[in-house]
């Protein structure tokens, strides 16, 4: 396993990060422990979770993922691991979280204390804003709607609150998620003006059928030295090929209707078929092609993988041993020109 520096921080993270959002819904506590043990044995030192998890979110299970990770973490050598979690943003109807989550100082303080308790640790290495407090298009939306504007916490206040957590030793660094170029620029500018810590990472969707990050965020990340934590590298399993011959009963898209709607858009099946054919032509599994592609990008700090079975996890981690040839990468770009971002 190779390791990369996360933004301007001192954190060295494995190029694969274990995502945990199925723990507590599709995976039991025992299965979570098995996955975590296996991932660490294979060299993964980076674990990502969130106060909102598991998915799909609901009031009965919220926080269970962090609790399962905490059971495991309490028995580990804490300073050998990089633990990331997130504070839930507003406007998605999750009123069971703090009577309606926001990213204000009070909400941030309440959220981190809850996460630390569930994770059974004194600090997290990376604390992320799960999605912006302000109005932005998210999760398959592509157009900004000025008529959807709402009351929002100033970015300066969010930065100040996160800086206080760093000073208090509750977090080491902070990052953003589901963020836009404007938002990332503002966080960096505001932090610099106030002489406070900058974000070190941004966790956005990035995969073969959603390369929107390349258009504005990649330049921002390069110039501001902020790493991408790429989530959904398999597009909710679509890029694994398991849905091509009918819906797969254990997949999130089939188990939870309405979940992952961006992967049901026009041209997604055709693009997925083209990438699957490319993988077959080069004796690669579609999973390996998809994950190795994301890992190959210069702007990616770590690729977040997730699995509901050990077999899936083993295949995902094994992809770290594959480097795509220039010819395969060129073929990927040719397919991308035919089917540009069908699942943004």
Cβ atoms of 18 and 39 closer than 8 Å: yes
Residues belonging to the chain:
344
H/E element holding 83?
Answer: strand 82-87
- Where would I find the H helices in 169-285? 181-194, 217-224, 252-255, 268-281
H/E element holding 107?
Answer: helix 105-119
SS (H, E, C) 70-91: HHHHCCCCHHHCEEEEEECCCC
Catalytic residue selected from 3, 23, 38, 53? 53
Q: Give the residues across from 126 on adjacent strands.
A: 84, 173
Cβ atoms of 334 and 326 closer than 8 Å: no
What is the spatial distance between Cα 279 and Cα 291, in angstroms, rounded to a whole number? 12
Instruction: Please tell me the number of Cα atoms within 13 Å of 104 on its side-chain side.
Output: 10
**Angle subtended at Cα 318 by Cα 295 and Cα 50, rounded to the nearest 5 degrees:** 65
Q: Is 53 a catalytic residue?
A: yes
**Per the structure block, which two tokens stand in for 206?**
């990035």
Q: 5: burial class by Cβ within 10 Å (0-12, 13-18, 19+)?
A: middle
> What are the catalytic residues?
53
């Amino acid at each position: 396993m190779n390791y990369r520096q996360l933004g301007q921080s001192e954190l060295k993270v494995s190029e694969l990060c274990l995502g945990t959002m199925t723990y507590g819904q599709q995976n039991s506590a025992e299965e979570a422990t098995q996955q975590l043990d296996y991932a660490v044995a294979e060299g993964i030192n980076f674990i990502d979770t969130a106060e909102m998890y598991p998915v799909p979110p609901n009031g009965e299970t919220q926080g269970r993922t962090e609790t399962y990770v905490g059971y495991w973490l309490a028995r580990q050598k804490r300073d050998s691991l990089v633990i990331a979690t997130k504070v839930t943003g507003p406007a998605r109807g999750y009123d069971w979280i703090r009577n309606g989550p926001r990213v204000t100082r009070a909400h941030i303080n309440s959220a981190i204390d809850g996460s630390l308790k569930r994770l059974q640790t004194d600090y997290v290495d990376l604390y992320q804003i799960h999605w912006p407090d302000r109005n932005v298009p998210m999760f398959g939306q592509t157009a900004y709607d000025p008529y959807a504007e709402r009351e929002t916490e100033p970015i300066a206040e969010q930065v100040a609150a996160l800086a206080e957590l760093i000073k208090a030793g509750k977090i080491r660094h902070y990052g953003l998620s589901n963020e836009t170029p404007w938002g990332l620029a503002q966080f960096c500018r505001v932090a610099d003006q106030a002489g406070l810590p900058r974000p070190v990472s941004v966790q956005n969707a990035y995969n073969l059928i959603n390369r929107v990050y390349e258009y504005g965020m990649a330049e921002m990340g390069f110039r501001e030295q902020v790493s991408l934590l790429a989530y959904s590298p398999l597009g909710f399993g679509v890029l694994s090929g398991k849905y091509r011959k009918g819906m797969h009963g254990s997949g999130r898209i089939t188990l939870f209707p309405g979940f992952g709607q961006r992967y049901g858009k026009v041209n997604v099946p055709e693009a997925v078929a083209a990438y699957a054919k490319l993988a077959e032509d080069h004796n690669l599994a579609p999973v390996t092609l998809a994950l190795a592609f994301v890992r190959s990008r210069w702007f990616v700090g770590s690729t977040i993988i997730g699995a509901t079975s050990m077999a899936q996890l083993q295949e995902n981690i094994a992809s770290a041993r594959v480097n795509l040839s220039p010819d395969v990468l060129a073929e990927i770009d040719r397919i991308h020109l035919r089917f540009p971002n069908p699942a943004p």
